[in-house]
Amino acid sequence: MNDDEWFDRLRNDARSLGYALTDPWQLDRLARGVLERLDAPSPSVFAFLSAWLRPLGVAVALVAVLGTAAALLALRAEEPVAEVTAQILMLQEDPYGAAE
Partner 1 sequence: MRPEQEPARDVGNDEAALIEAARRGDRDAYGQLVRRNLPRALAVAHGIVRNRADAEDLAQEAFVRAHAHLERFRPGAPFAPWLFRIVTNLALDLLKHRGRLREEELGETHAAPRATEADTAAHANEKLRRIDAALELLPEMQRIVARLSLVEELEHADIAAALDITEGTVRSHLSHARAALRAKLSDLYEVS
DSSP state of 44: P
CB of 25 to partner 1, least distance (A): 11
Separation of alpha carbons 64 and 75, rounded Å = 16
Would you say 19 or 96 has its CB closer to partner 1?
A: 19
DSSP calls for 5-30:
HHHHHHHHHHGGGS---SSTTHHHHH
Site for partner 1 in 4-63 (CB under 8 A): 6-7, 9-11, 13-24, 27-28, 30-31, 33-35, 37-39
CB of 20 to partner 1, least distance (A): 5
CB of 43 to partner 1, least distance (A): 15
Sign of CA dihedral 89, 93, 97, 100: negative
DSSP state of 42: P
Give the footprint of partner 1 on this chain (CB under 8 A). Answer: 1, 3, 6-7, 9-11, 13-24, 27-28, 30-31, 33-35, 37-39
